[in-house]
Amino acid sequence: MNPSIKTVFHAFTALLLAPLFPAVSNAQSATHQGDVTAVTVIRRVEQHPQAGRLWQPFIIQGEKRKQLIVAFGAMAHGKKDMGDILASLSRDDGQTWETPVAIFDHNQRQGAIQFAYANPVLYRAPGQDVIWCFAMRCPIAFDNSEESQLVGAFSADGGRSWTPVEMAMHYTGPLILNAGIVEAEFNGQRRFLLPAHRNTLQKDPRGSRDHFILSSTSLLEWKLDAFIPQPTNAGVFLHEGNLAAGDAPGELKIVMRTANYDQDELTTEPPRAYSSVSKDGGRTWSVAREEPDLHNAKSKGFFGRAANGTHIYVYNDGPAQRDKTPEFPNGGRMSLRYKTKPPGGAWSAQKTFFDAGIKNSYPTLIEVAPGEFRAVWDSGTADTPRTHIHFGKLTLKP
């Protein structure tokens, strides 16, 4: 073949095949302190011209040991917390990440209605190859996503493509998602539990701020299962709770982000996470109570349990996001810290998860082997939040 023709042929072939083999990213993070290792940047906001921020990532393990799937939000310009939901795959345990694909696209109308989306939750049911992504869907005319409904999509090819599915909902009020699904069994029945909350008090003086649990036996049909009872001494805005197995056999525990109930711009005093437990598979819950060892200043904290029974709590130290102090001149949501608690033991002293002198928030972790976690969170600059999505690895030491 003539060399010039051969060159053109190869270039044309590469152009045709390019969509089948998306580019990968291997952007390394800036120097940081903390116990998280192998830190990389999955995606930057500059790679999304339609987005003003990237936020709230969620991670699960893929079909094979080194495969990981991360879903995250790309916030539409002019919106406070909603836009598109995208998914990116890694085939090498987080070293590189493929160009993300859309799960939910705010540009695609549903009939005459245009929606924006927020807060993805990934889940793979035990024994199934199908991966689910649950998220919030809100009419795009709204300023924020407080009036959202549950929406779902599934992938049968490991996260490379997604098919939206309408949920059968027996709960019809607004909801806000944050944390992963936990499987529970009670009296021989298996159920999937999805924590959520609502904040109708934001726009309605007769509204409420409630944390609740949705349940399903199929992942398609959902009903309101239970509310988390408020503390009896003072109302607390309980939200963004994470479910995990509790301390006792058969017990479930939820640890929740908090704020002042009536003035949600304020933290509790002192700023603490609250928790509740269920001993009947999530049907009823104890009155929420303060966790005296767990700091929370109006920011998502991750709560989970490792295979050996150790609990882990990852959180932002310092003040609330917009509260500037001499120690935190750029406000809160800076460093990520964590604590661990062995079975039957007490919470450890504070340890550093990730600290690079920049904004960090909304961590989510998945245990891929005993004591081995993979983590994602959104990061920014010293004074601007949510400009990129970080990935890292954490090993829990005995």
Is residue 28 within 8 A of residue 44, CB to CB? The reply is no
Q: What is the pLDDT of residue 17?
A: 38
**Could you give the CA distance from residue 102 to residue 84 in angstroms, rounded to a whole number?**
7
Tell how far CA 343 is from the center of its chain: 25
H runs (alpha helix) in the chain: 3-17
Residue environment code for 300-322, b if the CB has 16+ CB neighbours within 10 A, otherwise e: bbbbbbbeeebbbbbbbbbbbbe
Q: Would you identify the CATH topology of the domain 46-166?
A: Tachylectin-2; Chain A (2.115.10)
What is the secondary structure of 323-337 as a DSSP string? ---SS-TT-S---EE
What is the secondary structure of 14-78 as a DSSP string? HHHHGGGS--EE-EEPPP-BSS-EEEEEEEEGGG-TTEEEEEEEEEEE-SSTT-EEEEEEEEETT
Give the long-range contacts of residues 230-234, CB within 8 A, separation 24 or more: 230/261, 230/287, 230/288, 231/274, 231/287, 231/288, 231/289, 231/290, 232/287, 234/261
Low-confidence ranges of the chain (pLDDT < 70): 1-30
**Could you give the CA distance from residue 169 to residue 41 in angstroms, rounded to a whole number?**
36
**Could you give the CA distance from residue 83 to residue 50 in angstroms, rounded to a whole number?**
9
Q: What is the pLDDT of residue 9?
A: 36
pTM across the whole model: 0.91
**Could you give the CA distance from residue 155 to residue 365 in angstroms, rounded to a whole number?**
21
Q: In one letter, which amino acid is 336?
A: L
Q: In one letter, which amino acid is 72?
A: F
pLDDT over 70, % of the chain: 92
Closest CA to 227 of 239, 216, 219, 218: 239
Rounded (to 5) percent helix, strand, coil in the chain: 5, 50, 45
Give per-residue pLDDT as tens, 220-252.
999 999 999 999 887 899 999 999 999 999 999
Closest CA to 256 of 238, 278, 235, 279: 238
**Could you give the CA distance from residue 294 to residue 302 in angstroms, rounded to a whole number?**
11
What are the structural domain ranges in the chain? 46-166
**Could you give the CA distance from residue 46 to residue 228 in angstroms, rounded to a whole number?**
40
Q: In one letter, which amino acid is 160?
A: R
Q: What is the pLDDT of residue 187?
A: 82
What is the secondary structure of 100-113 as a DSSP string? PEEEE-TTS-BTTB
